[in-house]
Chain A
């Protein structure tokens, strides 16, 4: 007789582990089934180059919900985060180096434009007001436009707040929800590197350009950033982003949850319209009262369910849900720090993010290439050197650099012959791009790991290599994520739930979908009791 659980969680990424932890904490008998031999999903630390530890996919933490850190006591389970401060943007005519010190930052910005420096505080205030206002929405399930008015009552407070926002803030919020990151920034700024770098927040993980309407929403999504209450800060977990998953896993286990790796789920078992368990690739069957999928919407609904078990409209909507991966990850093992041609003295500018985003046109042209099925000839790069904050990531005196690269369209034009064919060539392109601003970079490389969108799809299971398990598009957010009418983690299959980033509020190391799904599941169980 096969084992039986109160809840089976499919997928051991940070959201699946979070759901498991909350359910186990509530006293449920929970098992997590992970396809790979390691937990973490896209929050993963591995050592493809011996001695060097890479945050293979995701590389920075800012969106992780403080509730999760508190309620699961992640600090006790070993989570340590060091702030990653500052952004350094090399430019052909100099550089822009923004750090924590306000006066220094303004001085840097004034180098490029006096007007920008004068407007900087107003911009920060506006964005802060907006994120403060909107943040409650990422810690509540999305209300359905045709749903129970009760769902909207949860938002009454938010509605009242909106009424009380000053007109300029309301206007700016609408600009962000409907417009482009570039046009939003133009309301304050004109400096090439400032707009180039700031607009990058609007395209990360998105198959759009900084001038495409809709990227304001992605910008906003990234500015939710908050670590345990402190604002708009990014942080590096000690030991890489895999440490986040490890801490959540440890919390889950401490509450009694079982985590099984190397246990790929083949299909969800149904009885009528009800999910009753899963069958593994091995043929083994595991039974449970509640089945939770932390995989993306495509795997959850199109791959793991028997054909024809979903209502036609719903299945069509899932097929229309857009993934369109647009980014790659290239991780480097270095035997020394690169020297950037235009940089301030010291290594301070390398402590935070090194952003290759010198101008709006540079960014937009990078998108134009991708739109037509080509990797960007000159890509946007978001590079970190974690070893400057966390030396444990490499042998003494050595360093690792991790570069997020965009654009790398999952769907390539035919002439490229597929990603495996141009993978190394693409890696060289990234090296060339960095070396244009730091000529000795190429000489410091002792090893590299290239994760193309295809690799992200095959290795980690992200459909089309989309890092958010579904694009952050206005029409795919809130009550439309993943499907209008099904934004509250329930699915058309009874006792089958969605807890991945394909659900509200979306991707990033937030653990919000995992937490909110667990809370909804517990609510419905109480309803049954």
Chain B
């Protein structure tokens, strides 16, 4: 009866884990085979995954007095928010901005001041690949509009941009208040109709005026292209803004539902500031600096963090979680497990059919998580010149933002089309950052890093991700960069490519999807990843889902981790009463 004693004993009196069923009192499987004579560790909650969401969840849990052990399979923390190494230089491995990290989370965990964040004036620089023009989206929308006004049909475009930016900020504020937290419950006799009706009554409380409320109900299922086109008629600018609805995802700007992902990417309010330009914030020392800060906070609250600890199974007994089994043979006994792995890894790989049931597996298998985004990290012996950004001095300013290279909506769609049939784009969409412009400490000399998102490169590439295929993709991305920064390829010292296949094998993301589960209105909010498990709880008693594959979605936000932890903490409090 070790489990019965150990689990509750581990919990502070105020926070007893649920003991509602006799089942929970049965000794967990682990007791039958304590390997290597090691006594099994015990905790209230095991958090699986040491990415930003796992660390945030662990910090919230520990802060609430819950005995928490976090296990990360890799030897270092960070998951996809990692500061890694390119030819001896520290570089953002995957994510290169942390602008969407939720201020509420930073406040709750006391992260302010622990990590230095820099937000450049220029958020997004878009040199046109063929016609030599460029667009800069500044933090200050008026400054953007002033520059747009000089384009053909500029007055109209500028006015449209300001109108769209205003709308996106107001709706972004609503997202921040209503859609960024734990999704509302559609169940218990409630219905879609009631939820929609709820907008009418909820609106006043969120400061959402009727016009915006009506627009939300119309915009969520829209395509980003249609959404933006209602405000702006400018091929390049339309492509640039609507692109954010498909970035990191297997969709194109014409795909319906990308309106939802565009709006989610533009969350505004409570210190966040998205709008039509989107966030661009860089952590000094790379995203890893943010990770260290969260990890320190978690440890400070008393969470135990283990790296190099790969979970091979979530142990359960009669539908009740009993802990996790590690590759080392060790097991950790815990009545609760919160997994920030992608939902397929958690429910299909770490649990058997007897635990999940065939129905859930059938529906989950069909969720969309085909990774199409690769990352190319380039070390250059000098700062590349982007003529369309103007004088050298001007370039230094404009190039601090995200550098997005695309021409028009159909151009992005063409790049997307190939990926539907297992082929990489002939001309990929490229979004680069030069982190060393903002954080010279990364190289400490005149060398610069070019951190490049390359899309579309499907995980299921025909013929597989051979050395040749990898070279082809990298070359195609460099060719796109070369088109707006002539000569840059001559300055490449080292390049490092991470394909979706690598995300699958080295980061354990099923389908190699950077967002775990494809984003869009079809896998959104309460039905992300699936209706029925979209509110962090699962049919397996004691198992909670979190991570990018749950609401509100992917990106370095910390929101899914915080929401899932809050849900679990409420559950523990109720159970303790």
Question: Are A and B part of the same complex?
Answer: yes
Q: Is B213 a contact of A213 with CB atoms below 8 Å?
A: no
Digit string of A6-47 for contact with B (CB within 8 Å is 1, else 0)? 000000000000000000000000000000000000000000
Contact with B along A130-152 (1 / 0, CB 8 A): 00000000000001011101001
A159–B191 CB distance below 8 A: yes
Docked-complex contact B421 and A361, CB < 8 angstroms: yes
Interface residues of B (CB under 8 A from A): 186-194, 196-197, 199-200, 210-211, 213-214, 217-222, 226, 230, 251, 254-257, 359, 362-363, 366, 368, 410, 413-414, 417, 420-421, 520-524, 527, 530-532
- A474 on interface, CB distance cutoff 8 Å: yes
The 5 closest A-B pairs by CB, nearest first: A214-B256, A163-B189, A474-B221, A159-B191, A162-B191
CA gap between A180 and B523 in the complex, in Å: 11
C-alpha spacing A162/B230, complex, angstroms: 34
Cα-based distance from A484 to B520 in the complex (angstroms): 22
A175 to B364, CA, bound (A): 12
A312 contact set on B, CB distance < 8 A? none
Across the interface, A320 reaches (CB within 8 A) one of B190, B230, B421, namely B230
Given contacts A145-B213, A163-B191, A167-B532, contact A187 B359 (CB under 8 A): no
Q: Counting CB contacts under 8 A, is A485 at the interface?
A: yes
Residue A495, interface by CB 8 Å: no
Residues of A within 8 A of B (CB): 143, 145-147, 149, 152, 155, 158-164, 167-168, 170-171, 174-175, 178-180, 183, 186-188, 208, 211-214, 216, 313, 320, 322, 361, 364-365, 368, 371-372, 473-475, 479-480, 484-485
Which of B219, B413, B524 is close to A371, meaning CB atoms less than 8 Å apart?
Answer: B413
CB distance from B545 to the nearest CB of A (A): 15
Complex: A175 Cα to B520 Cα, angstroms: 12
Instruction: Using A168-B359, A365-B421 as known contacts, list a sample of 12 further A-B pairs with CB atoms less than 8 Å apart, ordered by residue number in A.
Output: A145-B199, A149-B197, A167-B531, A168-B363, A171-B530, A171-B532, A174-B527, A178-B527, A212-B255, A214-B221, A475-B222, A485-B214
Q: Check A213 against B257 for contact (C-beta < 8 Å).
A: yes
- Which residues on B sit within 8 Å (CB–CB) of A179? 522-523
Cross-chain contact B531 with A175 (CB below 8 angstroms): yes
> Judging by beta carbons under 8 Å apart, are A371 and B214 in contact?
no
Asked if B197 and A186 make an inter-chain contact with CB atoms under 8 angstroms apart, the answer reads no
The contact sample of 28 A-B pairs, CB cut-off 8 A, is A145-B214, A147-B200, A159-B194, A162-B193, A170-B187, A170-B531, A170-B532, A171-B363, A175-B527, A178-B221, A187-B363, A188-B362, A211-B420, A213-B221, A213-B255, A213-B256, A213-B257, A214-B256, A322-B226, A368-B417, A372-B413, A473-B221, A474-B221, A474-B256, A474-B521, A479-B196, A480-B217, A485-B214
Question: Which of A178, A211, A365, A484 has the most chain B CB within a 10 Å cutoff?
Answer: A178
- Does B366 contact A484, Cβ atoms closer than 8 Å? no
B522 touches A183 (CB 8 A): yes
Whether A484 lies near B193 (C-beta < 8 A) is: no
CA distance A162 to B190 in the complex (A): 8
Output the nearest chain A residue to B216 by Cβ-Cβ distance: A145
B256 touches A146 (CB 8 A): no
A145 near B196: Cβ-Cβ < 8 Å: yes
Residue of B whose beta carbon sits closest to that of A476: B218
**A146 CB contact (under 8 Å) in B214, B362, B366:** B214
Query: Are A152 and B197 in contact, with the CB atoms below 8 A?
Result: yes
> Per a CB cutoff under 8 Å, which of A178, A187, A368 touches B257?
A178
CA distance A485 to B214 in the complex (A): 8
With CB as the reference atom, state the residue of chain B lying closest to A371: B413
Considering the chains assembled together, what is the distance between the CA atoms of A474 and B186 in angstroms?
19
Q: How far is the CA of A480 from the CA of B359 in the complex (A)?
A: 34
Check B218 against A178 for contact (C-beta < 8 Å).
no
Q: Chain B: which residue is nearest A158 at the CB level?
A: B193
| A450 to B: closest C-beta gap in Å | 27
- Measured between alpha carbons, how far is A468 from B72 in the docked complex, in Å? 53
Residue of B nearest to A187 (CB): B366
B522 near A159 with CB under 8 A, answer: no
Bound Cα distance from A449 to B220, whole angstroms: 41
Given the interface pairs A178-B527, A213-B522, the reply to whether A163 lies near B188 with Cβ below 8 Å is yes
Dominant SS among interface residues on chain B: helix
The answer to whether A372 touches B414 (Cβ under 8 A) is yes
CA distance A288 to B435 in the complex (A): 70
The answer to whether A171 touches B531 (Cβ under 8 A) is yes
Give the CA-CA distance A126 to B257 in the complex, in Å: 24
Chain B residue nearest in CB terms to A474: B221
Shortest distance from the beta carbon of B233 to any chain A beta carbon, whole Å: 12
A143 touches B193 (CB 8 A): yes
What CA separation (Å) do A517 and B193 show in the bound complex? 22
CB contacts (< 8 Å) of A212 on chain B: these are: 254-256
Closest Cβ neighbor of B363 among chain A residues? A187
Chain B residue contacts of A474, Cβ below 8 A: 221, 256, 521
Distance between A324 CB and nearest chain B CB, rounded to angstroms: 10
> In the complex, A211→B413 CA distance in Å?
14
Contact indicator A146/B410 (Cβ below 8 Å): no
Question: Which residues of chain B are near A168, meaning CB under 8 Å?
Answer: 359, 363, 532
Complex CA gap A397/B413 in Å reads 49
With a CB–CB cut-off of 8 A, which chain B residues contact A365? 421
A479 and B218 alpha carbons, distance in the complex (Å): 10
CA distance A372 to B226 in the complex (A): 16
**Residue of A whose beta carbon sits closest to that of B192:** A162
Q: Which residue of B lies closest to A313 (CB)?
A: B211
Chain B residues near A145 (CB, 8 Å)?
196-197, 199-200, 213-214, 217
**Other-chain residue from A155, A188, A372, A475 in contact with B193 (beta carbon distance below 8 A):** A155
Report yes or no: A484 in contact with B214, Cβ–Cβ below 8 A: yes
Chain B residues with Cβ below 8 Å from A186 are 366
Cβ contact within 8 Å between A213 and B520: yes
Closest A residue to B230 by beta carbon equals A320
Contact indicator B530/A475 (Cβ below 8 Å):
no
CB distance from A451 to the nearest CB of B (A): 26
Q: Nearest chain-B residue to A316 (Cβ)?
A: B230
Residue of A nearest to B217 (CB): A145
**CB-CB < 8 A to A164: which residues of B?**
189
Q: Which residues of A contact B219 (CB under 8 A)?
A: 475
Bound form: Cα–Cα A318–B253 in Å: 22
> Shortest Cβ distance from A138 into chain B, in angstroms?
14
Contact in complex: A159, B255 (CB < 8 Å): no
CB distance from A301 to the nearest CB of B (A): 17
CB pair A364 B257 closer than 8 Å: no
Q: Across the interface, which residues of A come within 8 angstroms of B188, CB to CB?
A: 163
> For B530, what are the chain A residues with a Cβ–Cβ distance below 8 Å?
171
Q: How distant is the Cα of A147 from the Cα of B417 in the complex, in angstroms?
A: 42
- Give the shortest distance, in Å, between B519 (CB) and chain A (any CB): 11
Known interface pairs A475-B219, A479-B217; A180-B522 also in contact (CB < 8 Å): yes
**Residue from the list B190, B362, B414, B521 in contact with A159, Cβ < 8 A:** B190
Shortest B552–chain A CB gap in Å is 15
Chain B residue numbers with a CB within 8 Å of A178 are 221, 257, 521-522, 524, 527
Tell me the complex Cα distance, A485–B200, Å: 12
Distance between A254 CB and nearest chain B CB, rounded to angstroms: 38
B217's partner among A149, A213, A216, A484 (CB-CB below 8 A) is A484
Decide: B527 and A371 in contact? CB cutoff 8 A: no
Which chain B residue lies CB-closest to A361? B421
Please give, as numbers and ranges, the residues of chain B lying within 8 Å of A167 by CB-CB distance.
531-532
Contacts of B522 in A (CB 8 A): 175, 178-180, 183, 213, 216
Bound-state Cα–Cα, A179 to B520, Å: 9
Task: Report the separation of the CA atoms of residues A34 and B331 in the bound assembly, to the nearest whole angstrom.
Answer: 78
Could you tell me the distance between the alpha carbons of A213 and B252 in the complex, rounded to whole angstroms?
Answer: 11
Give B196's nearest chain A residue, CB to CB: A145
- Kindly report which residue of chain A lies nearest to residue B362, judged by CB atoms: A187
Q: Are B190 and A146 in contact (CB under 8 A)?
A: no
A361-B423 Cα distance, complex, nearest whole Å? 13
Please give, as numbers and ranges, the residues of chain A lying within 8 Å of B257 by CB-CB distance.
178, 213-214
Q: How far is B503's CA from A169's CA once the two chains are assembled, in angstroms?
A: 34
| Most chain A CB atoms below 10 A, which of B211, B221, B363 | B221
Residues of B within 8 A of A475 (CB): 218-222
A359 to B524, CA, bound (A): 28
CA distance A175 to B521 in the complex (A): 10
Instruction: Note all chain A residues with C-beta closer than 8 A to B362.
Output: 187-188
A180 to B192, CA, bound (A): 19
